[in-house]
Structure 1
Amino acid sequence: MAFRDFDQNDVSRRSLFRGGGYLAAGAALSTLPFRHALLAHDVSESWPSVASLAERYLAEGKVANLFLTFGWGQEDHAHTVGGGKLGFNRPGAVDENSLYRIYSMTKPVTGMATMMLIDQGDLGLDQPLHEVLPAFRDMQVLVDPEGPLDNTVPAETPITIRHLLTHTSGLGYNIVSKGPLRDAYNANGLVGGRVSRIPIPGFPDVTPAPGLEVWADRLAELPLMYQPATRWSYSASIDLLGRVIEVASGMDFESFLQTRIFEPCGMNSTWMTVPESETARMTDNYGILGGFPLPLDLAAATIYTDEPKVPSGGGGLVSTPKDYDRFLRMLLGYGTLDGVEVIGENAVRVGTSNLLPDTVDTSTSWIAGQGHGAGGRVLDGTFGWGGAAGTIAAVDYNLGLRSALWTQYMPTEAYPMRDEFLKALEADLTAMRAAKAA
């Protein structure tokens, strides 16, 4: 299935950010003083509430860094707010070239890689998964998602590529599933992104499956949590797309990302394995325990210098604010960056639209009242996703804006940073509107 004849007027998109403040101020945003600046620079004066938020988190010692980027249209550089250090006990300051573990911000990258293959006819959006990976032909579904693995019924419909892109396949996830299914995921090494070399209290010591092909085969042997196309449930489906991409393209997953996305986008510092020579610019990651940050993965001994046994399309990448902004800029250009078509225009339009099947219930999910595209949440003209260590990024097609928040702590719910960011952003936009009206 290709998208050359896709009707652009049929596209509906939704947002990574809850609420309307971020989305309601296109006129005010167009007056920002850095709109036509040629080089990246700090624009804290234009965003006093956002800057104050960053300053507060840094001054209180809650995070080592809080760095935000804002870019317009196809401007070469995003502009910055905030800052901080690479780590609490390190002297170097973060900048657009600092390396961050982006975890699930990998998902939109994998989603767009999948859309490339759909656009060129190597996959179909509604193609059954078993046509690519035959082991997924006759799936069983748990009667109780937390119940015994032998209490199942046959899947009523096959998993499709659309289901994988939108977390509606019914697959589980070792960070979401409970009971016997979670135990089976761990026992079979069905893990996604990595965290630390240090044993983490409360987390099982899991040995990853020996490669993506084995990982996928083991996943096919386990039952689904839900019937496909009935519920939105965060899952291992984007990781599985890594194996789908390998089979459909004839290339290993990491090589596909490198040659088809990273190189044409000029993303020269995005990897699943960080070269030892680059660790000096890598941030430290911290676990928040009782409100205090404790070392979780320090750059000097990071697990990300080891080649992963299973390259995770759902959470395996390390990147920089500069690199990821180039990915966002490519999306904002509907697949074209610096005059080079990286992804077909309609593939991006479809991938950033609401792809949820009509039969899916989202009422009790994280995205209730919203939509989901190719690996990212969508709402009112924006597309994006966040990462487990606090990062978040989105493109807004209505405003021609790309934005991202960069920090490193886990779990994300330890601080209300994202909600506070939204409020601060709305306050600054309100002030801009008032100044323009005066």
Structure 2
Amino acid sequence: MDAEPEEVGFDAQRLQRVVSHYRRYVDDGRLAGWTVAVARRGRLVLHAHHGLADIEAQRPVADDTIWRIYSMTKPITSAAVLMLYERGLLELTDPVARYIPSFADLRVYRAGSAANPGTAPASEPMRIWHLLTHTAGLTYGWHHAHAVDEIYRAKGFEFGAPRGMDLATACDVWASLPLLFEPGSEWNYSVATDVLGRIVEVVSGQRLDTFFAEEVFAPLGMDDTAFHVAPDELDRLAGLYMPNPAGGLLRNTSLGDNATREPTFLSGGGGLVSTAADYHRFTQMLARGGELDGVRLLGPRTIAYMTRNHLPGGADLKAFGRPISSESPNRGVGFGLGVSVVVDAAAGKTLTHEGEYAWGGLASTAFYVDPAAEVTAMFFTQLLPSSTYPIRLQLRALINQALVD
């Protein structure tokens, strides 16, 4: 630990409620194992593990356990885009078609079935800020909420991309499919951040994994974060699980084994694996206004701009967004450039503060940064889907109830 809890305004006994609460998730069979880390003013006050990283191997969670972070990849990709923006290499208002020409002639779904959709030309170009805010009109096949989702699945896009397809080809396919709505008119969680990953490649002239490795991970000392786990590190990778209707957990090898192979499709929306130590360094860079240990990735004003609500009219996701499969509330939560942002804590009925920004991953991982409380928190486990239990809401309440200054 970097500090005793009392040194930075935590009640140590109350903070231990975080550990005892999540221990029960393992002890009653809801989770295999987990890691939690809490810091205040950059000083780590809680870092705990419980349970197994791999049930079948009976391997406990350890400091160096590697987790599939899925959509916690998105803030990293969004930060990469903003790094290029700071260098004057792109504008947030640029049409996506400037970098990916197939996005020039978009069509919007109007009516009909997935087999025979009625569409009309988009009246507004899709722009980079639409991608950053998930207002581009794109979607995910796994939503199972609309005919356009079904079209994505029919093209092989449910989780990830069809085997063997690269990022550039995937973007061209998405550009050929109907948009869910006019860009900028609604919010829908989507492959937008994967498209941003391709823009990073085009603008930088580097593959996304190379840009991340050289411009983000090496400067921050994130040595265990990558798009797959190296063969000699596989014994550190956590197993991926789903609830068993009969009780306990079932291992999901069809999705889980993807992390063991170098991918053709470099997913800036969900492709990274990482450790708690690595992602802690990323959250500290954000919390410190873009700098960590003398290395600056982004300017403090850029971080402040990234983490304010960018939804039109200051709307929250309840008013502006389409529902997604998540246990997190949409009331009182807006969206910034790659992260959710609390705009009205009372409306969300979750113990937190306005200005808190966050995101999570498909396998129930989560992080948040609360500038008002000067707190960062992360939770790692490997349970699909993330909406199974209210892990993220409980994390905020358990941490904030322990703050006493």
TM-score strictly above 0.5: yes
Amino acid corresponding to residue 32 of structure 1 in structure 2: P
Query: Following the alignment from structure 2 to structure 1, what is the Cα–Cα distance between the partners of residues 188 and 254?
Result: 32
Contact kept? 1:44, 1:80, Cα under 8 Å: no
Partner of 2:290: 335
Partner of 1:32: 5
Partner of 1:97: 64
- SS of corresponding position for 1:56: helix
Which whole-Å deviations, capped at 9, do the CAs of 1:264-310 have from their partners, x for residues lacking one? 010000011110111111111111132421111399x8331211121
- SS of corresponding position for 1:164: helix
Query: Following the alignment from structure 2 to structure 1, what is the Cα–Cα distance between the partners of residues 20 and 76?
Result: 31
Partner of 2:340: 377
Contact kept? 2:4, 2:45, Cα under 8 Å: no
Query: Following the alignment from structure 2 to structure 1, what is the Cα–Cα distance between the partners of residues 316 and 65?
Result: 39
Q: What displacement does 1:35 show?
A: 3.7
- SS of corresponding position for 2:174: helix
Q: For 2:230, which of 265, 275, 279 is the aligned residue?
A: 275
Kindly indicate whether residue 129 of structure 2 is the aligned counterpart of residue 162 of structure 1: yes
Kindly indicate whether residue 379 of structure 2 is the aligned counterpart of residue 424 of structure 1: no
Kindly indicate whether residue 165 of structure 2 is the aligned counterpart of residue 210 of structure 1: yes
Query: Following the alignment from structure 1 to structure 2, what is the Cα–Cα distance between the partners of residues 158 and 208?
Result: 30
Q: 1:62 to 1:181 in 2, by over 3 A?
A: same
Partner of 2:250: 294
Contact kept? 1:54, 1:82, Cα under 8 Å: no
Query: Following the alignment from structure 1 to structure 2, what is the Cα–Cα distance between the partners of residues 85 and 341?
Result: 36
Q: For 2:37, which of 55, 69, 72 is the aligned residue?
A: 69
Amino acid corresponding to residue 248 of structure 2 in structure 1: F
Query: Following the alignment from structure 1 to structure 2, what is the Cα–Cα distance between the partners of residues 311 and 236?
Result: 12
Q: 1:188 to 1:209 in 2, by over 3 A?
A: farther
Q: 1:274 to 1:370 in 2, by over 3 A?
A: same
TM-score normalised according to structure 2 size:
0.87
Structure 1 residues without counterparts, runs of 5 or longer:
1-29, 38-42, 194-205, 434-438
Q: What displacement does 1:361 show?
A: 7.6
Query: Following the alignment from structure 2 to structure 1, what is the Cα–Cα distance between the partners of residues 45 and 273?
Result: 19
Partner of 2:350: none
Contact kept? 2:316, 2:332, Cα under 8 Å: no
Q: What displacement does 1:390 show?
A: 0.7
TM-score normalised according to structure 1 size:
0.80
Q: What displacement does 1:210 show?
A: 1.7
Kindly indicate whether residue 276 of structure 2 is the aligned counterpart of residue 309 of structure 1: no
Amino acid corresponding to residue 126 of structure 1 in structure 2: T
Partner of 1:9: none
Q: 1:146 to 1:96 in 2, by over 3 A?
A: farther
Query: Following the alignment from structure 2 to structure 1, what is the Cα–Cα distance between the partners of residues 12 and 236?
Result: 23
Q: What displacement does 1:101 show?
A: 0.6
Query: Following the alignment from structure 1 to structure 2, what is the Cα–Cα distance between the partners of residues 143 and 181?
Result: 10
Q: What displacement does 1:184 show?
A: 3.0
Query: Following the alignment from structure 1 to structure 2, what is the Cα–Cα distance between the partners of residues 31 and 296?
Result: 39
Partner of 1:185: 152
Amino acid corresponding to residue 73 of structure 1 in structure 2: R
Kindly indicate whether residue 239 of structure 2 is the aligned counterpart of residue 262 of structure 1: no
Cα root mean square deviation, aligned: 2.7
Query: Following the alignment from structure 2 to structure 1, what is the Cα–Cα distance between the partners of residues 164 and 363?
Result: 24
- SS of corresponding position for 1:86: strand
Partner of 2:25: 57
Contact kept? 1:70, 1:79, Cα under 8 Å: yes
Alignment length (residue pairs): 383
Q: What displacement does 1:426 show?
A: 4.3
Q: What displacement does 1:115 show?
A: 0.7
Kindly indicate whether residue 340 of structure 2 is the aligned counterpart of residue 403 of structure 1: no
- Superposed, 1:234-253 pairs within 5 Å as 234-253=189-208
- SS of corresponding position for 1:123: coil
Query: Following the alignment from structure 1 to structure 2, what is the Cα–Cα distance between the partners of residues 397 and 179?
Result: 37
Query: Following the alignment from structure 1 to structure 2, what is the Cα–Cα distance between the partners of residues 115 and 96?
Result: 31
Identity %: 33
Partner of 1:348: 303
Partner of 2:100: 133
Q: What displacement does 1:181 show?
A: 2.7
Q: What displacement does 1:343 show?
A: 2.0
Contact kept? 1:393, 1:404, Cα under 8 Å: yes
Task: Work out which structure has the larger RCO, using CA pairs closer than 8 Å and 6 or more positions apart in sequence.
Answer: 1
Query: Following the alignment from structure 2 to structure 1, what is the Cα–Cα distance between the partners of residues 83 and 313?
Result: 24
Amino acid corresponding to residue 339 of structure 2 in structure 1: G
